[in-house]
Structure 1
Amino acid sequence: MRASSNHLFRLIQLGIGLFLYGVATALMVRAAVGVTSWSVLTQGLERVMPLSFGTLTVLTSFVVLMLWIPLRQKPGIGTVLNVVVIGPAADLTLVLVDEPGGLLARWLLFTAGLLLLAVSTACYIGARYGTGPRDGLMVGLHERFAMPIWRARTLVEVTVVVCGALLGGDLGIGTVVATFAIGPLVQPLMPVFSRLPWSPTPDTGRTPVEQDEPQYV
C-alpha cells in the first residue's frame, strides 16, 4: 500500500472517529444521567451563553488551544479536525435524537454513548495524527512542569468539572461512571485501531506493508 493511500485511509479513520465521538457525546447528553467532565463544562456554558452545545464545544477547544502556546505544544492535523468536527457532529445528533422518557431508556442510551465514545476515541487516536486540544493540555502540563500524567489529568478534569457544575452543568452518576470506565474501555480497543494495514508503526512511522516493500533512493 503506497504512502499516499495510507494517509488517505488514516484521514478517513480520523474523520470517522471524530464524527462518532461527537455523536457519542450527544447521546450521553440526551441520556441526562450525567456526562463527561468537558461536557459538564459545555452544558454549564450553555446556561450563560446563547449558543448551541456544539458551537460551545468548538469555542472551548479554541480557548484550550490558546493555552497550548505557553505550554509549547504544537497542533497537528488531528488537533485541527478535532476542533471543527466534534462540535457540529454533536449538534447534528442532538437535533436528531430526543431525550428518552424512562430511567431505563436513559441508562441504555448513556451506555450506548459510552461504548461508542470508547470506540471512537480508539479510532481517532489510532490514526496517529496528533492529540486533541484537551489531551494536549494534559500533555503540556506534564512536559512543562514535570507533572505526572495522572496528576495533570486529575487537575484538568477536576477544574473542568467544578467550573461546569458551578455553572449548572449536568453532573450526575453518569459522570462518575464515565470517568472511571472510559480508560478501561478504550485500552483493549487501541491495538485494534493502531494495527490496521495503513497504520504507521511507532518506531518507523511506516506501515507494516510499507516496511516490506522495496525502498528506492
Structure 2
Amino acid sequence: MLSRIAIYLVGLAINALGIALTIFSAAGVGSWDAAAIGMNNYFGLTIGTWTVAIQVLIVLMTKVVERKRFQYGSMLAIILRSIFLDLWIFLLFDRMEIPSSFLIQWLVFLFGTLAIGVGIGIYIEAKFPKSPVDGLMLALHNRFDWSINVSRIVVELTGTLLGFILSGPVGLGTLIIALFVGKIIQTVNSKVKMVLNQERMTVFKERPSEQNI
C-alpha cells in the first residue's frame, strides 16, 4: 500500500511540474484548458467554473463508456494535482520571468510536455483515482481495446476540436500535447509495469525461502 501511495504522489507531482512548465513557457495550453477558455469567451462565468463543469462532463462520459457508477474519487486526483501545481509555481516559478528567447521558451514547453506524460504514466499504475481526463483515456483503452496512445489522442483531439470551435487559444503547443503526450504515457507506463512486475516476482520468489528458514 505504501509503495502505491508513493507511486501515486510522485506521479502527480511530476505531472503538476509538467503543467507548471507549459504554463510558464507561454507556448500553448492543453486542449481542455483551451475548451474552458472558449466557453468563458462565449458564455461568460469564469474559466475556473468552466474547467470544473468540463471535468464533471468528462466523468459522465467515462461513466457511459465504462457502464459504471459516477466516479466521485476522480476529484481526489484533481485536488492533489492542484496542490502540487500551486507548490511548484510558488517554489520555482513565482519569481521567475517568462522566457524571452524563442528557443528557451519551446525547450521549457517540450520538457513540460514530457513531464506531463511521465507523471501520468507513473501515477495511473497506482490504481488510485485518476483525473477525469486520464480516467476517460483508460476507459476507452479498456472498453475498445485501443492502445493508451490512441485513447489519449482521441481524448485530447476532442478537447482541441471543442476549443477550436469555441475560439479558444488552440495553437501549435496544444496540438503537440494532443498528439504526443499519449505516446509518452504509454511508453512510461509500460516501463513502470515492467519494474513493478519484476519486484513482485522477486518478492514471490523470496517468500518460500523465508518460510524454510
**How far is 1:92 from its partner?**
4.2
Q: Does 1:50 align with 2:46?
A: yes
Q: Distance in 2 between matches of 1:128 and 1:192?
A: 16
Q: Report the equivalent of 2:204.
A: 211
Query: Structure 1 138/189 Cα, relative in aligned 2: closer, same or farther at 3 Å?
Result: closer
Task: Kindly indicate whether the alpha-carbon contact (under 8 Å) linking 1:43 and 1:170 is maintained by their aligned counterparts in 2.
Answer: yes
**Aligned-CA RMSD value:** 3.6
Q: Kindly, what percent of the aligned residue pairs are identical?
A: 26
**Correspondence 1:1-217 to 2 at 5 A:** 7-45=1-39, 48-50=44-46, 52=48, 57=51, 60-71=54-65, 72-73=67-68, 75=71, 79-94=74-89, 96-97=92-93, 98-129=97-128, 131-140=130-139, 156-196=155-195, 199=196, 201=197, 207-212=200-205, 213-214=207-208
Q: Distance in 2 between matches of 1:177 and 1:37?
A: 10
More helix by share: 2
Task: Kindly indicate whether the alpha-carbon contact (under 8 Å) linking 2:160 and 2:174 is maintained by their aligned counterparts in 1.
Answer: no
Query: Structure 1 170/92 Cα, relative in aligned 2: closer, same or farther at 3 Å?
Result: farther
Query: Structure 1 25/136 Cα, relative in aligned 2: closer, same or farther at 3 Å?
Result: same
Task: Kindly indicate whether the alpha-carbon contact (under 8 Å) linking 1:42 and 1:56 is maintained by their aligned counterparts in 2.
Answer: yes
TM-score (norm 2): 0.71
**How far is 1:26 from its partner?**
2.4
Which runs of structure 1 show a deviation greater than 6 angstroms over 4 or more consecutive aligned residues?
A: 149-152
Q: SS state of the match for residue 207, structure 1? A: helix
Q: Distance in 1 between matches of 2:5 and 2:55?
A: 20
Q: Report the equivalent of 1:3.
A: none
**How far is 1:76 from its partner?**
8.8
**How far is 1:185 from its partner?**
2.9
5+ residue gaps in structure 2? Answer: none
Q: Distance in 1 between matches of 2:152 and 2:187?
A: 20
Query: Structure 1 193/35 Cα, relative in aligned 2: closer, same or farther at 3 Å?
Result: same
What is the one-letter code of the residue matched to 1:88? I
**How far is 1:211 from its partner?**
2.3
Q: Distance in 2 between matches of 1:76 and 1:91?
A: 23
How many residues align? The count is 200
Q: Distance in 2 between matches of 1:151 and 1:188?
A: 13
What is the one-letter code of the residue matched to 1:27? L
Query: Structure 1 25/45 Cα, relative in aligned 2: closer, same or farther at 3 Å?
Result: farther
Q: SS state of the match for residue 168, structure 2? A: coil
Task: Kindly indicate whether the alpha-carbon contact (under 8 Å) linking 1:73 and 1:140 is maintained by their aligned counterparts in 2.
Answer: no
5+ residue gaps in structure 1? Answer: 1-6
Task: Kindly indicate whether the alpha-carbon contact (under 8 Å) linking 1:44 and 1:169 is maintained by their aligned counterparts in 2.
Answer: yes
**How far is 1:17 from its partner?**
0.8
Query: Structure 1 65/9 Cα, relative in aligned 2: closer, same or farther at 3 Å?
Result: same
What is the one-letter code of the residue matched to 2:79? V
**How far is 1:184 from its partner?**
3.3
Q: Distance in 1 between matches of 2:151 and 2:119?
A: 23
Query: Structure 1 194/81 Cα, relative in aligned 2: closer, same or farther at 3 Å?
Result: farther
Q: Distance in 1 between matches of 2:98 and 2:45?
A: 22
Task: Kindly indicate whether the alpha-carbon contact (under 8 Å) linking 1:58 and 1:84 is maintained by their aligned counterparts in 2.
Answer: no
**How far is 1:134 from its partner?**
1.8
Q: Distance in 1 between matches of 2:184 and 2:146?
A: 22
